[in-house]
Homo-oligomer: A and B are copies of this chain.
């Protein structure tokens, strides 16, 4: 152990190595609930790729597991420390290296926050779509490692759709460059998209080239309130079927609406059992037509109220309810956010099933999520001090995934597996896919150095 620290000290600048036990504590956990974390031996605050290479080589040599870390905003425990590990944090590799406006890409280090990158490219008239709710405090490296989604996925897709190429430090310290800077390219296996979403188990991302889009038009926004979750789900199906192109389509259930009401004093009608919020950024008459279509369909499907925003500021106000949802639920107790994605045609069934779970287990569950792509975040609210409630919360959390799978969905739409859902992954993908995961992991990391025990074990 001391030998490891000594060897690191010899090759790293002093500011790149943390061995102080108090400081180390803050590098133990991401934001997942119910996931254990061990004590790291040390934390490397890499300033450049060479630091990552050196640290990985020394750790591999010493047989010490490496846990790569971004901003620790993840929700599945993928970044949690392992007992006796070396944490390699990328938070100090936080420079945007290049923004190219014709080929439309940005080259960035992994420690840059999503919001910082998004704003930097917006200043050049460009748009980086992936927008996780945590965008102000999550890093691009973490987004890549978990293949993050966000609110505008319904129109623009997820992180992997924007990754052109990566620089990756492999388990043996070699530096792999994947992909390209061109729009298209099919030279060899798609190593880029294999690394994206692999949660630091196959390599450590030290640089990324990300595709950008031209900036979108100003969004038009509307909201609709329903007196049942089921009718809201049915309206969603008809909205999708209409082919209208929305840049956002969110839903909140009664529990969430009430939490937002009391937290933000928003005066949403108390009889509302579900709220939909829709945006179109098609611009001009097209955007207005999109929103009008959605409003018409919502009324047809029994909306008790439809609000069309007159301007972007009013639109932002409508969205504020959604943005405040998680914090509002947090006021009610400890929250545990699930992340199930179901076929859109089964959303109404899913919402009903979650209501039933809540009744059966006598536990509060607020449902919110990205209705446009079926990615729901049922959020279990409980008193963590009460062991019985905590057990029921855990049971509800699992039951939600079970229902998701039964409806043809997946246990994670955007938060990833980490430690939290490792057993459930086996359930979802089955033994053949698990064996392929293990074979790939063993091929790229034969000594099991990188984030061992995460995703697959």
Contact = CB atoms under 8 A, between A and B. Distances in A.
A337 interface: no
A348 B283 CA distance: 32
Contact of A184 (B178, B241, B413): B413
Interface stretch (A31-39, A271-279, A387-395, A426-434): A426-434
B432 A174 contact: yes
Given A182-B413, A186-B413, A189-B455, 12 more contacts: A100-B343, A102-B240, A183-B344, A184-B413, A185-B412, A187-B421, A187-B428, A188-B456, A189-B197, A214-B243, A214-B245, A286-B286
Contacts of A237: 102
Interface residues of A, number: 88
A375 interface: yes
A153 to B, nearest CB: 6
A72 to B, nearest CB: 18
Contact of A188 (B102, B185, B414, B425): B425
Contact of A285 (B184, B197, B285, B341): B285
Contact of A197 (B186, B415, B433, B437): B186
B146 A184 contact: no
Contact of A176 (B375, B414, B436, B455): B436
A14 interface: no
A197 to B, nearest CB: 5
A284 interface: yes
A89 interface: no
Contacts of A194: 189-190, 193-194, 440
Contacts of A411: 187
B180 A410 contact: yes
Nearest to A435: B174
Contacts of A184: 149, 153, 158, 341, 370, 373-375, 410, 413-414
A189 B421 CA distance: 14
Contacts of A197: 186, 189-190
Interface in A398-457: 408-417, 421, 425, 428-430, 432-433, 435-437, 439-440, 442-444, 455-456
A421 to B, nearest CB: 8
Interface string A161-186: 10000000010001111101111111
Nearest to A373: B183
27 contacts: A100-B343, A100-B345, A102-B237, A146-B186, A149-B184, A153-B183, A154-B183, A158-B186, A160-B190, A170-B436, A176-B436, A177-B429, A182-B342, A184-B373, A184-B374, A184-B410, A185-B412, A186-B197, A186-B410, A186-B416, A188-B429, A190-B196, A283-B286, A285-B286, A286-B286, A439-B443, A439-B444
Interface in A126-170: 146-147, 149, 153-154, 157-158, 160-161, 170
Interface in A212-255: 214-215, 237, 240-241, 243-245
From A147, A241, A244, A432, name the one whose CB has the most chain B CB atoms within 10 angstroms.
A432
A230 to B, nearest CB: 16
Q: How many copies does the complex hold?
A: 2
Nearest to A154: B183
A457 to B, nearest CB: 12
Contacts of A373: 182-184
Contact of A187 (B154, B187, B417): B417
A125 interface: yes
Contacts of A284: 285-286
A282 interface: yes
Contacts of A437: 188-189, 191
A186 to B, nearest CB: 5
A69 interface: no
B125 A243 contact: yes
Contact of A182 (B178, B408, B440): B408
A186 B147 contact: yes
A161 B158 CA distance: 11
A415 B186 CA distance: 7
